[in-house]
Amino acid sequence: MASERLARILAQLSAGGVTDPGVARLCEVCASVTMTSGAAIMLVPADAPPVSLYTTNDVSRLVEEAQFTLGEGPSVDAYQLERPVIEPDLANPETVRWPAFSPVVLRAGVRSVFGLPLRIGAVRLGALGFYRDMAGPLTNDQHADALVLADVATRAVLAIQANASAGEIAVELESGANLRFVVHQASGMVAVQLGVSITEALVRLRAYAFANDRAISEIAEEVVARHLHFHSDSVEVHEQ
C-alpha cells in the first residue's frame, strides 16, 4: 500500500513529462494531493534563520512570512518537535498554541494549518506546511499522502543540496525561491552591533518587527541599508 501511494505521488510529480521536479513543483503537487489551499517548504539551515524555498500563492506566502517574523506556527513546531503538527480550526482551537501567529493568518482567511518535519534519520532540514481556507482535519488518506510527500521533499532537497558548498544553499534551491537572505545579513550586522549571537540577534529583529507590526524582512532591509541601528546598551532602534 505504501509503495502504491508513493508510485501515485511520483506519477503526479512527473506528469506532463517533468523528469526532474524542483521545489516549486513539489509544493504544487503537495497542495493538490492533500486537497489543501496552499503549501510551502521551509528550510532551516544550521545556525541561521529559516528560509522559505517556495510558496504556492499569496496566502501561503503570508503564512510563511508570519511564521518567519513571529517565530511560531505549525512548520516551526513541526521542525522543532520533529513530528506532525495539526490545527484543524485556528478560530476555535482546543489549546491556543500561537497567540501571535493565529490572528494574523485568520485575517487572511486561513482556518486550518498543518506542518510536517522534513527529516531523514537524525538529519533535520525544515518543514513542509499546508493551509486550508476551511476548518477541518486531513482525512486518513490525505494525512498518509502528506507523510509520503514530506519524505519525497526531504530526499529531493538533500539531492539538490548535495553538490553545494558547506554552509551555502544550492543554486537550484535559490532559483525562484522566496528566500530571506537579507535577514541573514541583518542578523549578522545586529549580532556585531550588540555583541551577541546570531540567534539572539534574530530574536531582537523579530521583537522589533512584532512591536511595530511589520514584516521582519522589511526591518532587515532597513538594517542592511543602515537606516536602523541596534545599540548594545538598550533594545531601542535608532533611525539614522
Summarize pLDDT for 30-64 with one digit per residue, the tens: 999 999 999 999 887 765 667 777 788 999 988 98
- The pLDDT, as a whole number, for residue 136 is 95
Q: CA 141, 146, 151, 153: dihedral to nearest 10 degrees?
A: 140
Q: Are residues 22 and 63 in the same domain?
A: yes
Domain end position, chosen among 174, 197, 212: 174
Q: Strand, helix or coil at 162? A: coil
Q: Is the dihedral of CA 147, 74, 180, 120 positive or negative?
A: negative
Residue 114 scores a pLDDT above 90: yes
Cα separation, 80 vs 124, in Å, equals 9
Q: Residue 210 is part of a domain; what is its CATH number?
A: 1.10.10
Cα separation, 102 vs 208, in Å, equals 19
Average pLDDT over residues 110-137: 93
Strands (DSSP E) along 82-207, which ranges?
A: 85-87, 112-120, 123-132
With pLDDT > 70 as the criterion, what percentage of the chain qualifies?
81
H and E: helices and strands count for the chain: 10, 7
pLDDT in tens, 87-102: 999 999 988 999 999 9
Q: Residue 166 is part of a domain; what is its CATH number?
A: 3.30.450.40
Task: Report yes or no: 11 and 5 within 8 Å, Cβ to Cβ.
Answer: no
Q: Are residues 47 and 152 in the same domain?
A: yes
Average pLDDT over residues 224-231: 85
Residue 110 CB neighbour total at 10 angstroms: 25
- The pLDDT, as a whole number, for residue 158 is 80
Task: Report yes or no: 9 and 33 within 8 Å, Cβ to Cβ.
Answer: yes
- The pLDDT, as a whole number, for residue 52 is 72
Domain end position, chosen among 121, 154, 174: 174
Residue 4, C-beta contacts closer than 8 angstroms, at least 6 positions apart = none
pLDDT in tens, 154-205: 888 787 666 665 555 555 555 545 546 677 778 888 888 888 887 788 888 8
Residue 12 scores a pLDDT above 70: yes
- The pLDDT, as a whole number, for residue 142 is 94
Q: Are residues 170 and 187 in the same domain?
A: no
Q: Are residues 80 and 191 in the same domain?
A: no
Range of the domain at 72: 2-174
Q: Are residues 142 and 31 in the same domain?
A: yes
Domain end position, chosen among 174, 192, 210: 174
